[in-house]
Amino acid sequence: MTSQRTRDRLVQRLRDNGIRNEAVLEQIRNVPRHLFVDEALASRAYEDTALPIGLGQTISQPWVVARMTEALLEGFSGETVLEIGTGCGYQTAVLAPFVKKIYTVERIPELMRKTRQRLYDLDIYNVQFRPGDGWEGWRKYAPYDGIIVAAAADELPEKLLQQLAPGARMIIPVGRTGYQDLLQVTRKDDHFEEVSLGAVSFVPLVHGK
């Protein structure tokens, strides 16, 4: 169930469902998603569906990860990305080859510790981790050339908007539990432009550590 044929079927499904960036599709094929879920769920790792990872969190649906990555990278010309909601690290692993540095924030320390080791085991070293409140971002290394948020906010987080570099974009699900709108928010000179990328379902972006 973790064979190359199984991975190829997943990639073809994503392509059939509108993912166009072939480099992102190749990375989806290469990242061993079965290592990011519990062993009991490994046989389902290459289904196009979200799966529980414990602690009330989920590993995102591969189509959503591919779409968010594709949207972030379109026209991307910078080096640094802020990731909010490290989770199991699957989104981080898919994005890692395309950027120089990922700064990632996770609210649950236990989850962050496991994910850091998992990414090291996969020889992914261009990631810096911080436990904290995703609503606050990581001001120390701002502004960022892109921000990707893997949890749903009920409104656009003002502090994350302010940590975007001019011309940079943030990919974020916005809305209440059960249904959100995936938004691409681009910082212009004196305003932010929003484009809807479609309906998604994410765990909420929780305030506080």
Which of 60, 77, 196, 201 is catalytic? The answer is: 60
CA distance 154 to 207: 11
Contact 109, 135 (CB under 8 A): no
50-200 maps to CATH 3.40.50.150? yes
CA distance 82 to 30: 23
pTM for the complete prediction? Answer: 0.95
Task: List, in sequence order, every residue forming a beta bridge with 184; answer none if it has no partner.
Answer: 171, 195
Give the burial class of 133: count Cβ atoms within 10 A of its Cβ; 0-12 exposed, 13-18 middle, 19 or more buried: middle
Domain layout of the chain by residue ranges: 50-200
CA distance 142 to 163: 5
Residue-level pLDDT, tens digit, the chain, 209 residues: 568 899 999 999 999 999 999 999 999 999 999 999 988 898 999 999 999 988 878 899 999 999 999 999 998 989 999 999 999 999 999 999 999 999 999 999 999 999 999 999 999 999 999 999 999 999 999 999 999 999 999 999 999 999 999 999 999 999 987 789 999 999 998 899 999 999 998 988 988 76
CA distance 41 to 34: 8
What is residue 107's three-state secondary structure?
Answer: coil
Q: Is 43 labeled as catalytic in the residue annotation? A: no
